[in-house]
Amino acid sequence: MTAPSEREQYSTLEVATEGDLLRQGNGLEVVPHSTLEPYGYYDPTKPGHAATQPENDKLFPIAIPTSVPLTSPAYSSYPEVAEGAKAVGVDASAGGSKGRKICGLPRKWFWLAVAGAILVIIAVVVGAVVGTMSSSRKETSSSPSQDGKQDGNGNAGQGNTGSGMARVYKQSRLASANFTDAYGYENYLVMYQLRDATIRMSAFNTSTNKWVASNIINGTTNPVLRGSSLAIDTFWQGTNSPDVSIYYQSEGSVTAIMSLSYSSDDNISTTDRVPTNNWKSVDTVSGFNSMPGSSLAAYGKQCEFCNQYAYFFWQREQGLYMAENSGDSFTNANLIDITEKPSTNTSISLTYSGTLTGDKDAILRRSLNLFYRSTTSGLTQLRIGNSAFLPRYVGRDIGPRTNFAAFSTGFNESDSENPNPLGFQVLSIDPDVDDGVQLTYMKDSQWETSSDPVEDLEDCQEYATMAVNTGRRLYCLVDADDGDGVDIMEWAWQGDPSDTSTYLSWKKIGAVDILLASD
């Protein structure tokens, strides 16, 4: 930056006697004024010290104060020195410039004061703008709203959506269901939550072999609990498309359970985007409250000889609750009275055991099977059928934060010729123990625990979140390839229910497509 001249300021006035003045009649001698060297507020970066800009960091324009004139070149050399009467505040009749004053100050000191004042104004304005930008960037980078981070109250906040594309929330729960359509094609549904708390569903139809994503409920305009538990079920309607119901938790002082239903009359699509306004609120469920971290589980009629109604399960301080929908609405919530009490905020997984067509005793054997962690740390099967609640320890102890998913194989048929005898697969992941995905299974009415982890599913360990459907497809969260957020990965079970040596075999199918055309 150029500095003012350091020349000493000597007086240019001659001393005249009174006689000289009377004799000559001369006034004060005028000496041409010296010009101030300009101040500049632009200091080009010196070679070898080029300023760097963080990659992908957005540049914001800095507003220039209106008091600073725009000049060419881009940097200013204000103040500009005006000659003679062109200088603002100078009286042209006052004689020579060195003897003139502006606002009571010599011209040179006046302009020095003006230049200094303008420098101060510029510094304040630029400092304020840069400070605001820095504060904004700091809040964005260190805010507790980033995925996986929490504020002082333990509440996770909204994450950064990056370039605008929707991304799965790192602490999203997952839920999945499946059905076979009238054309014999398999259909898979996966429900999850985005960073802005929006709940979205991706659907897959084997006739097109592609995923189609649709929004169910907008999390930015509705009170959806971020990290909400999720549940989904399909209700069999013969050759028609099924009814589909979803459940989630609302945000507020009371963690209310909310439900939306998609009627078979609207013919839910798995090959095209599903209209959001076709999801109708199930008002009777909104009166049910849960613990904030409670898991949700739902069942809808799955086959002709399966349980005929819809059921919903969740947890409160008193224990497990169940509601039944045997008609147009859910009945009041009922506490399940069992000796094996569930531990606080246990994972809950549900599957069913249907019977073969023509089984005359089907009503005696069909049942729902709920899996949870008991207060004694045991993985517990709760068989629900014929108004009975029968808990059973299945031989594995699990940690308090263990997440698990279960699906059934075969049918609960008494006939010894049953080609598909009933079996269960229960997969568990403990985020506090790095021992991978563990398998507990039932075959020939006996429960067994595998001593080896499911190595094919080792990628699921990181986030310890998964869901599975009766179509034997499993979904879990894995790190995204681009390093930003997580993806939902799909796996298909390769096991043979009659051969235990194949039970640990899973095939990675690929990532679920969660993007809309507008993302």
Do 209 and 324 have their domain in common? yes
Give me the phi and psi of 47, to 5 degrees please.
-55, 140
Beta bridge partners of 190: 176, 202
Q: Check whether residue 212 and residue 262 sit in a common domain.
A: yes
pLDDT at res. 64:
33
Distances from the Cα of 103 to the Cαs of 91, 116, 121, 132, 364, in angstroms?
A: 11, 16, 20, 37, 106
207 with 269, same domain?
Answer: yes
Q: Are residues 392 and 463 in the same domain?
A: yes
Contact present, 299 and 277 (Cβ < 8 Å): no
Choosing from 123, 142, 161, the residue where a domain stops is 142
pLDDT of 518: 84
**Distance of alpha carbon 479 from alpha carbon 467, whole angstroms:** 17
**Would residue 98 count as lying in a domain?**
yes
- 356-406 pLDDT, tens digit per residue, is 877 788 888 899 999 999 999 999 999 999 889 999 999 999 999 999 999
pTM over 0.75: no
Q: Per the domain annotation, does 234 fall within a domain?
A: yes
Residues 89 and 233 in one domain: no
Residue of higher predicted confidence among 89 and 301: 301
Same-domain pairing of 207 and 85: no
Between the alpha carbon of residue 33 and those of residues 11, 30, 100, 106, 184, the distances in Å are 11, 9, 10, 12, 99
Q: How many CB atoms lie under 10 A from the CB of residue 262?
A: 23
Sign of CA dihedral 270, 271, 273, 275: negative
Q: Are residues 133 and 189 part of one domain?
A: no
pLDDT confidence band for 74 (50 / 70 / 90):
very low
pLDDT for 362:
85
* Residue 152 included in any domain: no
Instruction: Decide which of 121, 142, 163 is a domain's last residue.
Output: 142
Best CA proximity match to 179, nearest among 240, 230, 261: 240
pLDDT of residue 406: 98
What is the domain range of residue 338?
175-511
pLDDT digit string (tens) for 204-218? 999 999 999 999 999
Chain segment 4-43, per-residue pLDDT in tens: 333 343 333 344 444 433 334 433 333 333 333 332 222 3
Examine the domain organization and report whether 132 and 67 are in the same domain: yes
Q: Is the peptide bond before 47 cis (omega within 30 degrees of 0)?
A: no
Q: What is the pLDDT of residues 79-119, one digit of tens each?
A: 333 233 333 333 333 343 344 555 555 655 556 666 666 76
In a shared domain, residues 245 and 191: yes
- Is pLDDT of 184 > 70? yes
Same domain, 124 and 238: no
Element (H or E) spanning 118, and its range? helix 107-142
Residue 187 belongs to some domain of the structure:
yes
- Distance (Å, rounded) from C-alpha 105 to C-alpha 95? 16
How much is the pLDDT for 17?
42
**Residue 436's domain is classified under what CATH number?**
2.120.10.70
pLDDT at 110: 59
Residue 134 has pLDDT above 60, yes or no: no
Using the predicted structure, report yes or no on whether residue 49 has a pLDDT greater than 70.
no
**162 part of a folded domain:** no
pLDDT in tens, 210-252: 999 999 999 999 999 999 999 999 999 988 999 999 999 999 8
Q: Answer yes or no: is 304 within a domain.
A: yes
Backbone angles phi, psi at 129, to 5 degrees: -65, -50
- The pLDDT of residue 254: 85
Average pLDDT over residues 456-466: 97
Residue 517 lies in a domain: no
Question: Among 142, 163, 189, where does a domain finish?
Answer: 142
The tokens describing 314, both together, are: 């969740």
Residue 142 has pLDDT above 50, yes or no: no
Tell me, yes or no, whether 153 lies in a domain. no
User: In terms of domains, do 57 and 202 share one?
Assistant: no
443 and 344 housed in the same domain: yes
- Tell me how many domains the chain contains: 2
